[in-house]
Structure 1
Amino acid sequence: METFSTRDLLVEVINKLFVYTDSQAWDKLQNEVFTETVLFDMSSLGGAKMDMTATAICEMWKAGFAGIDSVNHLAGNYLVDIQGKSATVFAYATATHYKKSAVNGPTREFVGTYDLHLTQKEAGWRIDQFRYNVKFTTGNRDLT
């Protein structure tokens, strides 16, 4: 049986965030990635920083991805800081969205960074704070 470091376990949760989002595995996101309530901040794209339930985050993303044929996140450059039963992870990431039927171009891309806070729960590490910092976007922003 292999043993994983705390850092490995934290990075695995972040990778699950992106893989489960891309595959729209909403139940897995709620059960394996997020705490029940998350301090959620995507204000760099508009909107407000607020406490949201994991269910509400997944419902929002599910609605946002409706009609999109494919979503692909690539993440890396993880900087991990562990403080007992809490940790912060910084990551670079790109998200490419593809919609074959879009008249003004089939793709849009978001390039930015994530500041994530995780807490160790009985079931494992979970994200309880999520901040996305967009650097720039390219392509057909509305996928119209």
Structure 2
Amino acid sequence: MKKITVLLLISILSISANAQRIEKINETVSKLFIATDNKEWGQVENIFAPKVELDYSSMNGNPAVELSSEQITTSWKTILPGFTHTHHQIGNFITSVNGKTAQVLCYGTATHFLEDEAGNIWTVVGSYDFELKHLDNQWRISKMKFNYKYQDGNTNLPAKAIENVKQ
């Protein structure tokens, strides 16, 4: 009886530790989008691994590229600050962990607001595939793939946002 109790306790502790690990991984992905919407570029860079495979090919047709975290934020700074507001909403996390590597699938909707007579909103909907690695005692995103589903609203707003940043 004592042996069964000990084995049960060990199983419960193991399940709890794995649940905490998954929660921390999902939190890392959530923090990426919150920091991006808040334009906290240093925090965004810290969430990414030193090198990241970034893949938006399903939306823009360009092949995946490997970039540094600084290169990613430099690129995002050419458009995102040009919107009055951005709001990334993610959910439906499916997360698996294998040692110091994790995979996350989640749905995502990005809403971009900028006043314009043709419409103030541009929305992009899809899902993301992430790979995270446990580096420097924290989970960091090493791969980010966007799986485009559709967009809606004023598709001219990205060009207007880019022009706003240039001014």
With the shorter chain as reference, the TM-score category is over 0.9
Write the deviation string for residues 72-129 of structure 1: whole angstroms up to 9, x where unpaired: 01100000010010000000010000002x2210000000000000000123000001
Partner of 2:4: none
Partner of 1:99: 114
Of residues 54, 63, 74, the one that matches 1:48 is 63
Which consecutive unaligned segments of at least 5 residues does structure 1 have?
Answer: none
Shift in Å, 1:141: 1.1
In 1: Cα distance, 2:50 partner to 2:76 partner: 16
Letter in 1 for 2:95: V
Shift in Å, 1:29: 0.7
Task: Provide the TM-score with structure 1 as the length reference.
Answer: 0.93
Task: Provide the TM-score with structure 2 as the length reference.
Answer: 0.80
Contact 2:39 2:81 in 1 (8 A): no
Q: How does 1:1-144 map to 2 (within 5 A)?
A: 5-31=20-46, 33-46=47-60, 47-100=62-115, 102-143=116-157, 144=160
Higher percent of residues as helix:
2
2:81 aligns to what SS in structure 1?
coil
Deviates more, 1:38-47 or 1:125-134: 38-47
2:150 aligns to what SS in structure 1?
strand
In 2: Cα distance, 1:49 partner to 1:10 partner: 23
In 1: Cα distance, 2:38 partner to 2:110 partner: 13
2:82 aligns to what SS in structure 1?
coil
Higher percent of residues as strand:
1
1:45 aligns to what SS in structure 2?
helix
Shift in Å, 1:12: 0.8
2:52 aligns to what SS in structure 1?
strand
In 1: Cα distance, 2:138 partner to 2:120 partner: 38
Which contiguous aligned blocks of 4+ residues in structure 1 show a shift greater than 2 angstroms? none
Please report the RMSD computed on the Cα atoms of aligned residues, expressed in angstroms. Answer: 1.3
Write the deviation string for residues 8-66 of structure 1: whole angstroms up to 9, x where unpaired: 110110110110110011100111x1001101101112122010111111111111113
